Amino acid sequence: MTRKNVAVFTATGCKACENAILDIHYQVSSLARWAHFTFWPYVLGSSWEDLEKSDELDVCFFAGAIRTASDEEAALKLRQKSKILVAFGACAAFGGMPGLSNLHPGGESALCKSPSDDDCPELPPLRSRVAALQQIVQADYILPGCSPPQNYIWAILQSLVCQSESAARISFAASRLPQPIAQAVMAGVLPPGGSIFAGEKAVCASCARIKEEKRFESFKRIHQIDPDPGRCLLEQGLLCQGIATREGCGGLCTGAGVPCRGCFGKAGAVFDPGAKMVSAVSSTFDTTDGEEMKKIAEEFVDLAGTFYRYTMPAQCALLQNRKELK
Amino acid sequence: MNVFEPRIITFLCNWCTYVAADAAGVSRLTQKTNTRVVRVFCSGMVDPSYVIKAFAEGADGVLVGGCHPGDCHYIAGNMKAWRRSFLLKKLLNELGVEDERFRLEWIAASEPHKYAKVVNEMSEGLRSLGSFRSSYSCPSQTPRDHEKAVQSSPFS
Amino acid sequence: MANISIGPLRWQAEPSRVEIRQSGESVRSYYQVTAPRDVSSMCKGRPVEELPRILSILSASHHLASAVTLDNLFGVTPPPTAKNIRDALVQSLTFIHHARKLLFLLSSSQNPFGLRAELAVRAGTSPVAHHVLDEIGHAMALAQEAASILGGRHPHPLTAVAGGVSRPVKEIHYRRLAEIAESSLPYALRLRDIFREKIIGSGNGLYELMDLTVSPIASITFSGVEDAIVLTGADGSGSTTFTANKTTDTLEALREPWTHLPFVHVKGKTWQGPISDQSEGLFFVGPLARLNRCKPARTPQAEEERLHLVNSLGPAPHFSAIAAYWSLVVEIIQASEIMKDLCTEEKLTGLEVRTIASNPGGQHAHGALEAPEGFIYHHYQVDERGIVDDVTVLDAASENNALRCLLTQKMVEDAFEHGKPWDRAKKTIELSLLPF
Ligand code: SF4
Ligand code: SF4
Ligand code: SF4
Ligand code: FES
């Protein structure tokens, strides 16, 4: 079997996604039998010239959001060069936290100072809006999460790189994936194009906290209460986004006592995470009096920055279509 | 002359506001026909995502019409709609949708005049606010414009 | 007049490259970070209690620094168990952070993912055997497990909240932590041996390469014990201290048009731009800065290693890359020892892990932390509803930015003088920037 040419790259984000690939129990070195890492600037110091000279890439893992002109350029280059392009992590998949800046369009001008002398090098121009990889080029698979959990990184490596020939941890890799993807991973064939390597339902489905259909009279903020460990956080008055978010992490945050913020993007059946949250949260208001409803609603702060924490560019129905302002 | 005609999507409850709208139409009470009516069985079934979708698809305003409190055929559908409206407004606001663009009104079958008043008020308001899309540009995604990108190549 | 661009640079957390402008006999380099972090547009308008999660995008330690700032904002003191949990998290993050850098160093002249057979035939440098890299990898995996138990998630932790941590450590988790702590010290010592064998005593070129030194510059550390920030003079003496709330009176960030990463320097002292080592306002942070404070290490075996360093390289302060790498080794031993010390039942278990604020909180607060990568500082300004109006974040990257520029310039000048090919210069630059 010939080894696959693999590339790893991060645009604007952090290096945690790439470190997460390194971190798969530090067994990446054992991947050498299947993968030839042809382009990996962070670890191998590969340059763009190396990429040009290299053969076609079989798989490219692309992390980070598209914020600058060079990010955009990198996306185009890597798309052209790769058979399979994977949007790796919340930033690449949905725009991630850097995408929050889309709430303040035009803010990028504050980040650029005009050059003092003609000789000094220029910075790549900033886009007025942060975009997800998908909004620039077609991505073949999506691996959500900030950063993606280890089992899905395994799953995607097994599936796309090893063609499931590595015996290591295959059942671990396939756990919690929807059936069609899991079967493909096990069988060593490519999962259906566009597959999202995560669950289908909402985080609530795998969250260990119990819902009691309780309602609340006032909204709480995480520094104000020490939530009851067994009960649903939303029903204790905290904004928890598990209900609008795709499952896959197994309720990582809620298990650690903090509410979900949606790093897996919206769940399968959800049109817009914010709309879903508005309806879920409002239904817990314990009142039929308009004035009281208004009062409870007024206590909430920063809905947009919370409901679209990781997904503003790609999944906020109202903002995603806003055109790049030139 | 090119007068801006706001597009208002209305979600009207079958049992009340829809009837009122019908009557208002028959007696030609509304000035302009810039509303698009979606008949629903209860204001409680107008999910916030319908409203967001309407705006995302180019509506300039959204009106939800339901039965007066206590009159809902499904007991508390309108309460549900009411409860949601506050947070929805707040979210829309944060995303740049002005308050005037979204309204929830109780209009009974017997109130075609109220319906006409609400719609006329809203159209006036939106006309002076202007098109929602003008601030939102066209819905095309970022262009996949290889040529442009290659020209400004920071890599060379 | 020629323009050369080398990059992207390996191992840097920020997307960066080096731009070189050469005319006649002079050569000028620009260490350029090409994407903004834009912390303020991520944080402004957010509820302040969300910042620990948002700022963890900079590094896991910013999660903790942010929680410390929230403690101050709401005027709450975390219970002792919570403090221990946070401290244990810092130790495991230190282990991971330092081990990763050493792993990068050790595998620098080879493709760590290459086939064994290919490695064997590659001539010139002596590659580090795969099982050695695997061993380090295994130690890091353990430390990561500890970090995800303590922080709830790795690499972006979740558990630090205002007044403590969001959940206690369960008994089963505590047991695992104790196991990990027990086994990480032998790994740290093994790493020390590998370092001595492969780097110090190997003669494979890495040692000479790292013998490069910048001229002495001041350094900044944060001492949790004294609750003060210490500015140590370039010659290792004349240290001045100030408290966290005086940070922005003392330090200031400058922007240059050609890089997105600001330059932090000491206010009111001379600043002659990023590639001059003549500025009095210049300082750096990190493991070497901590070493330069000349304080004994906190634990016995780490102190032994520190003394070994001092005996070999001379007394601190040091400004060479080799000393910087070596201080990583000292601290990795120290982190393992402290971890072992902290992972006792009475220190880590207990249900009392959080103090709930009884007041709505102040309008602004400061927080400082000595993170694995160096001294970091946060300041938040909030409105009466606790919504963030303004944030100031000093991170190790912008504090060391001037040092990085200096090192880069030095390497570039050296390559230019000796007519070295630029791809070799790139490797040297990468290696010299890595430990800072
Ligand atoms: S998804 Fe999260 S971990 Fe990945 S690059 Fe973005 S911020 Fe970093
Ligand atoms: S809303 Fe949050 S806490 Fe409640 S069940 Fe869903 S994920 Fe769990
Ligand atoms: S609980 Fe939500 S925010 Fe947390 S890891 Fe899972 S999807 Fe991401
Ligand atoms: S039936 Fe009219 S609002 Fe429910």
Distance CA A325, CA A106 (A): 9
- Please name the residues in contact with C307: beta carbons below 8 A apart, sequence gap of 6 or more: none
Q: Ligand 3 test: best mutation among A147, A203, A232, A307, most atoms within 8 Å of CB?
A: A203
**pLDDT in tens for each of the 436 residues of chain C?**
578 888 899 999 889 999 999 888 888 999 999 998 889 889 999 999 999 999 999 999 999 999 999 999 999 999 999 999 999 999 999 999 999 999 888 888 766 666 554 444 443 455 677 778 788 888 888 999 999 999 999 889 999 999 999 999 988 899 999 999 999 999 999 999 988 887 777 655 565 566 677 888 899 999 877 778 999 988 877 788 899 888 988 999 988 889 999 999 998 888 887 777 778 888 999 999 999 988 899 999 999 999 999 998 888 899 988 899 999 999 999 999 999 999 988 898 888 999 998 888 889 999 999 999 999 999 999 999 999 999 999 999 999 999 999 999 988 988 888 888 888 888 888 988 999 8
On the question of pLDDT at A199 being above 70, the answer is yes
Determine the atom of ligand 3 nearest the C-alpha atom of A254. Answer: 1
Contact B86 A282 (CB under 8 A): yes
Contact B82 A303 (CB under 8 A): no
CA distances from residue C182 to B80, C339, C343 in whole angstroms, order as listed: 57, 9, 9
Substitution target in B62, B68, B89, B95 with the highest count of A β-carbons within 10 Å is B95
pLDDT for the residue numbered C138: 86
Q: Ligand 1 test: best mutation among A9, A147, A197, most atoms within 8 Å of CB?
A: A147
Residue B21 falls inside a structural domain: yes
Determine the atom of ligand 4 nearest the C-alpha atom of B81. Answer: 3
DSSP 8-state class, residue C9: P
On the question of pLDDT at B147 being above 70, the answer is no
Rounded to the nearest angstrom, the distance between the alpha carbon of B104 and the centre of ligand 4 is: 12
Contact C257 A23 (CB under 8 A): no
For residue C314, how many other CB atoms are within 10 A of its CB? 10
Report the chain A residue with the minimal C-alpha distance to residue C42. Answer: A100
pLDDT for the residue numbered B2: 65
A136 and chain B in contact, CB less than 8 A: yes
C111 and chain A in contact, CB less than 8 A: yes
Mean pLDDT to the nearest integer, A260-272: 94
Q: Is the ipTM of this complex over 0.85?
A: yes
Rounded to the nearest angstrom, the distance between the alpha carbon of C108 and the centre of ligand 3 is: 35
Report the chain A residue with the minimal C-alpha distance to residue B51. Answer: A275
Q: Which of B63, B34, B43 is nearest to B51 (CA)?
A: B63
Contact A278 B80 (CB under 8 A): no
In this prediction, residue A326 has a pLDDT band, given cuts at 50, 70 and 90, of: very low
- H or E segment to which residue A37 belongs: strand A35-39
Count of structural domains, chain B? 1
Mean pLDDT to the nearest integer, B40-46: 95
Q: What is the CATH number of the domain that holds B69?
A: 3.40.50.960
A269 and chain B in contact, CB less than 8 A: no
A37 strand-pairing partners:
A6
Chain A residues close to C163, C-beta within 8 Å? 223
Q: Which residue has the higher pLDDT, A324 or A175?
A: A175
Contact A72 B149 (CB under 8 A): yes
Rounded to the nearest angstrom, the distance between the alpha carbon of A207 and the centre of ligand 2 is: 6
Rounded to the nearest angstrom, the distance between the alpha carbon of A94 and the centre of ligand 1 is: 11
Residues within 6 Å of ligand 1 by CB = A 10, 13-14, 16-17, 63-64, 89-91, 96-97, 146-147; C 57
Phi, psi of B58 (to 5 degrees): 115, 10
In this prediction, residue A194 has a pLDDT band, given cuts at 50, 70 and 90, of: confident
What's the CA angle centered on A302, arms A299 and A306, to 5 degrees?
120
Q: Which of B63, B96, B66 is nearest to B82 (CA)?
A: B66
Determine the atom of ligand 1 nearest the C-alpha atom of C57. Answer: 7
pLDDT for the residue numbered B117: 93
Distance CA C284, CA C327 (A): 14
pLDDT for the residue numbered C427: 86
Rounded to the nearest angstrom, the distance between the alpha carbon of A96 and the centre of ligand 1 is: 7
Substitution target in C138, C260, C391, C408 with the highest count of A β-carbons within 10 Å is C260
Q: State the DSSP string of A131-153.
A: E-GGGTS--SEEE-SSSPPHHHH
Q: State the DSSP string of C186-233.
A: HHHHHHHHHHIIIIIS--SSHHHHTT-BPPP-EEEEEETTTTEEEEE-
Chain A residues close to C140, C-beta within 8 Å? 23, 26
**Cα dihedral A98, A100, A102, A106 sign:** negative
Chain A residues close to B90, C-beta within 8 Å? 297, 300, 303
Rounded to the nearest angstrom, the distance between the alpha carbon of A79 and the centre of ligand 1 is: 20
Of C21, C36, C430, which has the smallest distance from its Cβ to A45's Cβ?
A: C430
Q: Which fold has domain A4-105+126-187?
A: Rossmann fold (3.40.50)
pLDDT tens sequence across A107-162? 666 666 665 566 788 889 998 889 999 999 999 999 999 989 888 888 888 888 87
On the question of pLDDT at A259 being above 60, the answer is yes
Determine the atom of ligand 1 nearest the C-alpha atom of C156. Answer: 3
Mean pLDDT to the nearest integer, B106-124: 93
Of the ligands numbered here, which is closest to the C-alpha atom of A256?
Answer: 3
Report the chain A residue with the minimal C-alpha distance to residue C384. Answer: A301
For residue C24, how many other CB atoms are within 10 A of its CB? 6
Distance CA A162, CA C142 (A): 25
Determine the atom of ligand 1 nearest the C-alpha atom of A20. Answer: 3
Residues within 6 Å of ligand 2 by CB = A 203-204, 207, 209, 211, 232-234, 240, 242-243, 251, 254, 260
Which residue type sits at C205? G
Of A70, A73, A304, which has the smallest distance from its Cβ to B91's Cβ?
A: A304
Q: Chain B: nearest CA to A269, how far in angstroms?
A: 12
Chain A residues close to B80, C-beta within 8 Å? 282-283
Residue B156 falls inside a structural domain: no
Q: Chain A: nearest CA to C141, how far in angstroms?
A: 5
B152 and chain A in contact, CB less than 8 A: yes
Domain that holds residue B29: 8-131
Chain B residues close to A307, C-beta within 8 Å? 91
What order do you get walking across the sheet with C16-23 strand by strand?
C2-6, C16-23, C26-33
Query: What is the pTM assigned to this prediction?
Result: 0.92
Distance CA A136, CA C235 (A): 52
Report the chain A residue with the minimal C-alpha distance to residue C67. Answer: A223
Residues within 6 Å of ligand 3 by CB = A 203, 245, 249, 251-254, 260-264
List where CATH 3.40.50.700 sits in chain A.
4-105+126-187
Distance CA B77, CA A288 (A): 11
CATH of C39-207+340-396, one of 3.40.50.720, 3.20.20.70, 3.90.226.10, 1.10.645.10: 1.10.645.10
Across chain A, mean pLDDT equals 87
How many CB pairs below 8 Å do chains A and C form together?
Answer: 199
Rounded to the nearest angstrom, the distance between the alpha carbon of B28 and the centre of ligand 4 is: 25
Distance CA A222, CA A254 (A): 12
pLDDT for the residue numbered C202: 62
Rounded to the nearest angstrom, the distance between the alpha carbon of A204 and the centre of ligand 2 is: 5
Beta strands, E only, C96-196: 160-161, 164-165
Q: Chain A: nearest CA to C318, how far in angstroms?
A: 28
Distance CA C225, CA A80 (A): 55
- Please name the residues in contact with C406: beta carbons below 8 A apart, sequence gap of 6 or more: C214, C274, C275, C277
- H or E segment to which residue C377 belongs: strand C374-382
Residue B83 falls inside a structural domain: yes
The residue to which tokens 């932790």 are assigned? C157
Whether C347 contacts C366, CB under 8 Å:
no
